[in-house]
Structure 1
Amino acid sequence: MTEGTGALFREDAYLQETEARVIGVNERGGILLDRTVFYATSGGQPGDTGYIVRPDGGRIAIATTVTGETKDEIIHVPAPDQSLPEPGEMVRVVIDWPRRLQLMRMHTACHLLTVVCPFPITGAAVGEAESRVDFDIPDPSYTKELVSERLMQLIAADHPVFTRWITDEDLAANPNLVKSKNVRPPSGTGRIRLVGIGENGSVDSQPCGGTHVRSTAEVGAIHIGKIEKKGRENRRFRIRFGPLPQ
């Protein structure tokens, strides 16, 4: 069984680099480390990019980061034609911070959208320039103008954003914490990570393994660029940076 990777981003999403030990290279050239700041593709958020610095100063460009058989197996996927490290090497791993910060702002905005639109979520994807969240939403009054205005009110309020851990039993006792219609958070490990917004989660609290900014004000200007009809009651909300165009 592969040794797991310490996922430092789960406790501090603002860590941009760390020292790490290479614990293996898989058959596809994916690099496994004993600890990392790289987020692996999951929950609609894409994996981090960046680079690994070897002891001789050589750099290995990382094109993406994915999980293996479990969430604790984080695989750093090199770009083509990169040299590969040897197991046991001590390296420095550095994420593409501007890209990560964009994704953190966007992911937080997606959480705020689920507050403004309190309906079952049927899909979501976080991107650097645009994200989407799909809802089963029977109410046609949720226009892009109304939703954009309410999003900016939450952002301007500068609510704190934080994480905490609960048990499987806590989640079972509070099923409304799960907003997704079709996907349940993984259970069986004994604990589940919650992302809260507002004092003591007064604005929102939901299971999530992704990375987020520390306060809603850091999201900045955001708006709904488009609402697409995907079914009789299913709507896709596309979130974009910047103020709503006039």
Structure 2
Amino acid sequence: MPTELLYLNDSYVREFTATVLAVTPDQGVILDRTAFYPGGGGQPHDTGELVSTDGRSWRVVSLRRGTTADEIVHLLDREPPPVGTAVRGVLDWDRRYRLMRFHTALHVLSAVVFREFGALVTGANLDVDKARMDFELEDLAPERVARIEQLANEAIARGLPVRWWTIPRAEAERIPDLIRTKVNLLPPSIQSIRVVEISGLDLQADGGTHVRNTREIGGIRVVGTRSKGRNNKRIEITLVDQAENERTEGS
């Protein structure tokens, strides 16, 4: 039973109305539409709650995909409402928005490293307090790390628009460097590819949620690096707000 995935078109939907289409054995429900991101590509799933018209509520503690990519199961904290129940979905917005900022920040980081060193991404993960990205790099000397951080923050501060759209797979495969990962993670069965563009900086295939402008990220700080092998290096970042960025630059 397909679910209309509201987050694919609008990452800023915080609340929505829906109807329960099915109940699963693992205390979950499938809705006809949802703004909850189920997780993927290194971005965690959303959390929040479902509220029925008579005031009952259920915490959405996790999500998973069903038997198809567009079937989303919302796992709840107690016995689910029955099929046909009308509910209002409410996202934990502060958490979601921070994940959006981190996700777009990683795209900026990926673009900077690719432009400077031609390095592909070998892995990525993000959460609400820290994110990391692994690159096909032999060297992450301190001066190189400082340069990467500087270039990333300069791009963020330019206030570059971010937009996304979907194209056929055949068209996507004709775009150079659209897949920035060392291994192409898109299964052959996926025939429609969602593309995320940071204007003038980056264009990548991606299914997650993002901010609309790089200025919303605030800024990044590299808080750690690690060698994952001779030709595999990790950069760990956290977010800083714009005011903190300006204080740092002025010091």
More deviation in 173-182 or 56-65?
Answer: 173-182
Which SS does the other structure have where 1:110 is aligned? helix
8 A Cα contact 1:20 1:34, kept in partner: yes
In structure 2, what residue type is equivalent to 1:197?
I
- Aligned partner of 1:56 in structure 2 is 54
Which SS does the other structure have where 1:158 is aligned? coil
- Aligned partner of 2:123 in structure 1 is 123
More deviation in 208-217 or 135-144?
Answer: 135-144
Which SS does the other structure have where 1:38 is aligned? coil
Per-residue CA deviation, residues 9-50 of structure 1 (Å, 9 max, x unaligned), is 000000001100000111111111000010001111111000
- Aligned partner of 2:110 in structure 1 is 114
- Aligned partner of 1:179 in structure 2 is 180
Structure 1 segments, 4+ long, off by >4 Å, are: 243-246
Which among 7, 10, 13 is matched to residue 11 of structure 2? 13
8 A Cα contact 2:139 2:233, kept in partner: no
Unpaired runs of at least 5, structure 2? none
Q: How does 1:165-244 map to 2 (within 5 A)?
A: 165-198=166-199, 202-242=200-240
In structure 2, what residue type is equivalent to 1:174?
I
Q: 1:126: how far off?
A: 1.4
Q: How does 1:28-47 map to 2 (within 5 A)?
A: 28-47=26-45
**How high is the TM-score relative to the length of structure 1?**
0.92
Q: How does 1:64-83 map to 2 (within 5 A)?
A: 64-79=62-77, 82-83=78-79
Aligned equivalents of 1:65 and 1:193: distance in 2?
21
Aligned equivalents of 1:148 and 1:54: distance in 2?
46
The yes-or-no answer on 1:146 pairing with 2:147 is yes
The yes-or-no answer on 1:95 pairing with 2:95 is no
In structure 1, what residue type is equivalent to 2:185?
R
Which SS does the other structure have where 2:108 is aligned? helix
8 A Cα contact 1:168 1:188, kept in partner: no
Which SS does the other structure have where 1:231 is aligned? coil
Q: Could you say if the C-alpha distance between residues 189 and 134 of structure 1 is closer, same or farther in structure 2, counting changes exceeding 3 Å? A: closer
8 A Cα contact 1:130 1:239, kept in partner: yes
In structure 1, what residue type is equivalent to 2:84?
G
The yes-or-no answer on 1:104 pairing with 2:100 is yes
Identity fraction in percent: 36
Aligned equivalents of 1:42 and 1:140: distance in 2?
27
Which SS does the other structure have where 1:108 is aligned? helix
8 A Cα contact 1:52 1:61, kept in partner: yes
Aligned residues: 239
Q: 1:139: how far off?
A: 4.3
Which SS does the other structure have where 2:177 is aligned? helix
Q: 1:138: how far off?
A: 3.0
CA-based RMSD of the aligned residues comes to 1.7
Aligned equivalents of 2:135 and 2:61: distance in 1?
31
8 A Cα contact 1:151 1:223, kept in partner: no
- Aligned partner of 1:133 in structure 2 is 133
Which SS does the other structure have where 2:181 is aligned? coil
- Aligned partner of 1:163 in structure 2 is 164
Q: 1:144: how far off?
A: 2.9
Q: 1:175: how far off?
A: 4.8
Unpaired runs of at least 5, structure 1? none
Q: 1:131: how far off?
A: 0.6
Per-residue CA deviation, residues 78-111 of structure 1 (Å, 9 max, x unaligned), is 12xx231000111101110000000000000000
